[in-house]
């Protein structure tokens, strides 16, 4: 996914429309030209037609939902379970989206064999869907591994982080830039201390040559390197993202935060890295040094991955001390996950409560981007619509829109999500708007959001959106007076706080 569509992509899209519009399915020349684009009249083939996947695997429960499809647990004839990503071709509008899926399949094939890359078991395709079959990881993600650990020392954090750096270094050696490194994309094979960490989700990844620069604004705001925001970046952007992950491992929160994706991006660009506040004084000097080297805003000066692996804190004979990381760090990680999930949902409710005249311009923009007029923005509609608008939007606004919060994880951006991620938060701070949002969660209208009401709100978020936030973790962050519930003042503090 990127912020811009190349001239070639536009030309191919127009060519496909013209060819399909000619309705010359029997014209050999037309058929050959459509085939080169991966299309036939009425059909699109991402790879090729394969055997029926439903005769090979039995489909079970849905475990996730993403931008283009759904992930299921599937079982083969021998009883072995896998994860299957089912991608609807109906949602792949245009050659760019088709190429993105093809590239993901190519990259999964290309990276097979490394113990810390998600194992790819093949692609299947029929007239309606593409299916990517991968190993099933049942231990959650990197966040959950940290939360489940009985104790975290700098030495154990260094060993875990070395795994992450090694697998990303492997990708770079094979010419693959991930571009969306974050804790949620490092999966754990199984519960327990012997589990492996697996790098997954190569949907935004691309092949690269040494020295090659890219201009697509992709990734997640917290983990996005400054040069990605500026749309001129190379492989060092993955080093930055790993640096953000290390920062979270050691202190429990990201280095740069904000009230919205746009604010986070602004902080990444303009704020200096600060390692002076607790718990950093109790973290070893080599660890602090490595974080600083990885989060150098100048990609030319930023440490390389081979240098990261050779750093004293990360070497196999690591100098990282055995002393525990401050106990509050793990709690902060839990709160970071839960707090941000619920806060984003609260802001979506805020957006719904805004007076129509306040968001008339955004409504018009949404309608312009919504090409098929179904009230939902697909990733393709968002990308292509912004490309058509050229430089009307500032770079940081475009980057924020590209990572606009798909809060309910249905793979689309509805109008409220769109407004919540693009409307200036300060303009939402109207008492009547805040009151309406609070009332949405205060079901019994007693002036408090109780534990049960909070639990009900979280249960309505799918696991892929919520990331497993707990009521206890959220209350620990938002319930300032520790009375076991959230009052109106605490709700306002939560919604309006940075991060």
Residue 145 pLDDT: 81
Q: What is the pLDDT of residues 281-312, one digit of tens each?
A: 999 999 999 999 999 999 999 999 999 999 99
Structure tokens that stand for 402 in this block? 């590209």
Residue 42 confidence (pLDDT):
45
Catalytic entry in 100, 129, 141, 180: 180
CA-based diameter of the chain, in Å?
74
**pTM, to two decimals:** 0.68
Per-residue pLDDT at 496: 62
Q: Tell me: the pLDDT tens digits for 194-231? A: 889 999 989 889 999 999 999 888 888 899 999 999 99
Strands 413-414 and 58-65: unpaired
Model pLDDT, residue 289: 97
pLDDT at 183 over 60: yes
pLDDT, one tens digit per residue, over 55-111 is 999 999 988 776 557 899 999 999 999 999 998 887 776 677 788 889 999 999 999
Which residue in 250, 245, 253, 342 sits closest to 295, CA to CA?
245
Closest to 168 (Cα-Cα) out of 99, 244, 84, 80: 244
Hey, what are 230's tokens? Answer: 């500026």
Q: Which domains does the chain have, with CATH numbers?
A: 1-44 (no CATH), 46-135 (3.30.200.20), 142-326 (1.10.510.10), 331-496 (1.10.238.10)
Model pLDDT for residues 446-474, shown as the tens digit of each residue: 988 888 887 776 666 544 443 445 667 66
CA 77 to chain centre: 33
Residue that is written with structure tokens 């589990």 in the block: 195
3-state secondary structure 263-278: HHHHHHHHCCCCCCCC
pLDDT digits (tens, 9 = 90+) for 417-426: 676 665 554 4
Q: How many helices (H) and strands (E) does the chain have?
A: 21, 15
**In the predicted model, is pLDDT for residue 278 greater than 70?**
yes
Four-CA torsion 198, 201, 204, 209, nearest 10 degrees:
30
Q: Annotated catalytic, 180?
A: yes
Q: What would the pLDDT profile of 120-142 be if each residue is shown by its tens digit?
A: 999 999 888 999 999 999 988 88
Q: How do residues 359-396 score in pLDDT, each as one tens digit?
A: 677 777 777 777 777 777 766 666 667 666 554 444 33
Q: Look at 316 and 407; give whichever has higher pLDDT.
A: 316
């Amino acid at each position: 996914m990127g912020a811009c569509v190349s001239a070639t992509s536009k030309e191919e899209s127009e060519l496909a429309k013209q060819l399909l519009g000619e309705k010359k399915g029997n014209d050999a020349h037309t058929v050959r030209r459509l085939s080169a684009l991966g299309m036939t009249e009425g059909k699109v083939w991402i790879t090729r037609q394969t055997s029926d996947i439903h005769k090979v695997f039995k489909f079970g429960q849905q475990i996730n939902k993403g931008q283009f499809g759904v992930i299921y647990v599937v079982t083969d004839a021998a009883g072995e379970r896998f994860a299957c990503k089912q991608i609807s071709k109906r949602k792949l509008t245009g050659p760019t989206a088709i190429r993105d899926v093809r590239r993901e399949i190519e990259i999964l094939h290309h990276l097979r064999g490394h113990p810390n890359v998600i194992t790819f078991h093949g692609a299947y395709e029929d007239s309606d869907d593409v299916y990517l079959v991968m190993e099933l990881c049942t231990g959650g993600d990197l966040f959950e591994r940290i939360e489940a650990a009985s104790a975290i020392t700098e030495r154990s954090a260094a060993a875990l982080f070395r795994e992450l750096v090694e697998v990303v270094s492997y990708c770079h050696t094979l010419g693959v830039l991930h571009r969306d490194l974050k804790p949620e994309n490092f999966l754990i094979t199984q519960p327990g201390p012997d589990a492996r960490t697996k790098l997954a989700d190569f949907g935004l990844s691309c092949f690269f040559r040494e020295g090659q620069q890219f201009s697509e604004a992709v990734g997640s705001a917290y983990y996005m390197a400054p040069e990605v925001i500026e749309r001129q970046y190379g492989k060092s952007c993955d080093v930055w993202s790993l640096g953000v992950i290390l920062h979270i491992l050691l202190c429990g929160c990201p280095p740069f935060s904000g009230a919205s994706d746009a604010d986070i991006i602004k902080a990444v660009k303009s704020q200096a890295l600060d390692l002076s506040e607790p718990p950093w004084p109790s973290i070893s000097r080599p660890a602090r040094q490595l974080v600083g080297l990885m989060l150098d805003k100048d990609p030319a000066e930023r440490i390389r991955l081979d240098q990261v692996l050779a750093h004293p804190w990360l070497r196999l004979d690591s100098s990282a001390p055995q002393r525990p990381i401050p106990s509050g760090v793990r709690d902060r990680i839990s709160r970071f996950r839960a707090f941000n999930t619920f806060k984003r949902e609260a802001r979506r409710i805020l957006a719904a409560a805004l007076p129509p005249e306040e968001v008339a311009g955004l409504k018009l923009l949404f309608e312009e981007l919504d090409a098929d007029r179904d009230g939902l923005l697909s990733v393709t509609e968002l990308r292509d619509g912004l490309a058509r608008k050229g430089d009307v939007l500032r770079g940081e606004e475009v980057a924020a829109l590209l990572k606009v919060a798909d809060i309910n994880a249905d793979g689309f951006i509805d109008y409220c999500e769109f407004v919540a991620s693009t409307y200036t938060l300060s303009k939402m701070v109207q008492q009547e708007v805040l009151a309406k949002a609070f009332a949405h969660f205060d079901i019994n209208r007693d002036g408090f959001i109780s534990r049960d009401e909070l639990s009900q709100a979280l249960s309505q978020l799918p696991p892929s959106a919520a990331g497993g936030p707990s009521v206890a973790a959220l209350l620990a962050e938002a319930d300032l007076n520790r009375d076991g519930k959230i009052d109106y003042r605490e709700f306002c503090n939560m919604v309006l706080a940075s991060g």
